[in-house]
């Protein structure tokens, strides 16, 4: 997704006078607002508010059950903190994968049940294109598309293409069964091993409902489902690079490399009177990274596009995520490190990102 960019005029005050104040820089940004930037800002803020307000639980309409049909239901308010954490991790992962489609998932049950988002996710992860017969957006059409998507998921995960896993059936996913949705998504994470960390040993409890003689019956004792293991190893495996060698075998050279990176950053950040001093402390909130990308690319990132004074962990992650998007827009590969690694002040991750910028923009004055 291309981010709003406002080219810097050769005759702009910032070009004519190196010591422009930061206030003038802000004023310039405010004059460059446009509708696309406003829309992006609203989407980002809505997403943050959704996360901070907690994960909502949708309880499906059990009256839709057929005679003899059973469904395991997690009732409102019964999600444990670990389950809520797992849901948040998965939502962030999906949104990161689908950012180029301008898709924002806020609730797994309400946004994934019809197969549309799952289709885009599977296509993105597998770098494939799913072909569908022309179907109407009726319940029957939704289930028809969902069946094709789940068959592709089963193929990817090494199951028979036409074998319907009992953990995630068409009826369960379309019925907004949160347990089935979580089983499917965690299976995809284990297969593709994206740079995220699933919370470990997550169990979810639900009550079994069954329709008997037209009436709903609920088991008294809850049933527990294991969603993640005690030792989840789902993070991506990267090849060791020069930074691993530097940290492990040449720590005496670490300060030299850090100083070189800071010199490069300050060559540009001093143009807006915001010099940096520390790799560990000055990049974790994403503000410098966002502004640095604008300076390197010759455009101004409107201030309402990111959090200028981020207060929460989520706001900092949003800033770093935006910086990553700007890097991709500039022709760089998406960083292997997670935005969360930068926010947590992982020095090796931060240095990797800055080194990639040096390689790409070393000729920029």
Please check whether the two domains, 6-32+239-361 and 55-226, share a CATH topology: yes
User: In degrees rounded to 5, what are phi and psi of residue 208?
Assistant: -85, 125
**Chain segment 81-124, per-residue pLDDT in tens:** 889 899 999 999 999 899 888 899 999 999 999 999 999 999 99
**Chain segment 185-224, per-residue pLDDT in tens:** 999 998 888 878 888 889 888 888 888 888 888 888 888 8
> For the ranges 24-33, 99-108, 144-153, which has the lowest average pLDDT?
24-33
CATH of domain 55-226: 1.10.418.10
Three-class SS of residue 73? strand
Q: Give the number of other CB atoms < 10 A from CB of residue 289.
A: 26
Domain 6-32+239-361, CATH class in plain words: mainly alpha
Contact 4, 41 (CB under 8 A): no
pTM of the complete model: 0.51
Contact 260, 357 (CB under 8 A): no
Contact 299, 48 (CB under 8 A): no
Q: Where are the domains of the chain?
A: 6-32+239-361, 55-226
How many Cα atoms are found within 13 Å in the side-chain-facing hemisphere of 251? 3
Measured between its terminal Cα atoms, the distance across the chain in Å is 27
pLDDT band of residue 134 (cuts 50, 70, 90) is low
Closest C-alpha among 288, 360, 357 to residue 322: 288
Counts for the chain of helices (H) and strands (E), in that order = 15, 6
Outline where the chain has alpha helix (H).
13-16, 22-31, 35-52, 81-97, 108-112, 116-126, 139-156, 170-174, 178-192, 242-249, 254-269, 287-297, 313-329, 339-343, 347-361
């Amino acid at each position: 997704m291309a981010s709003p960019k406002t080219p810097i005029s050769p005759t702009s005050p910032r070009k004519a006078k190196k010591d422009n104040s930061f206030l003038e820089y802000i004023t310039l940004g405010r004059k460059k607002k446009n509708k696309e930037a406003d829309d992006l800002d609203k989407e980002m803020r809505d997403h943050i508010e959704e996360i901070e307000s907690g994960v909502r639980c949708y309880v499906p309409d059990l009256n839709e059950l057929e005679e003899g049909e059973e469904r395991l239901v997690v009732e409102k308010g019964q999600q444990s903190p670990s389950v809520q954490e797992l849901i948040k991790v998965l939502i962030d992962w999906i949104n990161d994968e689908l950012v180029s489609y301008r898709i924002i998932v806020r609730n797994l049950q309400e946004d994934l049940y019809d197969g549309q988002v799952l289709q885009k996710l599977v296509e993105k992860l597998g770098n494939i294109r799913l072909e569908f017969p022309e179907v109407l957006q009726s319940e029957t059409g939704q289930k028809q598309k969902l069946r094709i998507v789940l068959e592709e998921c089963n193929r990817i995960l090494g199951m028979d293409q036409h074998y319907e896993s009992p953990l995630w059936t068409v009826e369960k996913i379309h019925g907004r069964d949160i347990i089935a949705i979580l089983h499917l998504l965690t299976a995809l994470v284990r297969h593709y091993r994206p740079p995220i960390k699933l919370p470990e040993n997550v169990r979810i409890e639900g009550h079994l409902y069954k329709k008997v003689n037209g009436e709903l019956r609920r088991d008294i004792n809850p049933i527990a489902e294991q969603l993640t293991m005690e030792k989840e190893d789902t993070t991506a495996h990267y090849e060791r690079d020069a930074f691993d060698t530097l940290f492990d075998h040449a720590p005496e050279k670490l300060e030299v490399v850090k100083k070189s990176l800071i010199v490069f950053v300050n060559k540009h950040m001093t143009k807006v009177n915001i010099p940096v001093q520390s790799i560990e402390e000055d990049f974790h909130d994403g503000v410098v990274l966002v502004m640095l990308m604008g300076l390197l690319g010759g455009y101004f990132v409107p201030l309402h596009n990111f959090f200028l004074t981020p207060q929460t962990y989520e706001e900092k992650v949003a800033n770093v995520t935006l910086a990553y998007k700007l890097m991709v827009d500039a022709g760089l590969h998406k960083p292997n490190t997670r935005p969360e690694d930068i926010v947590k002040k992982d020095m090796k991750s931060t240095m990797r990102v800055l080194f990639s910028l040096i390689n790409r923009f070393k000729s920029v004055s």
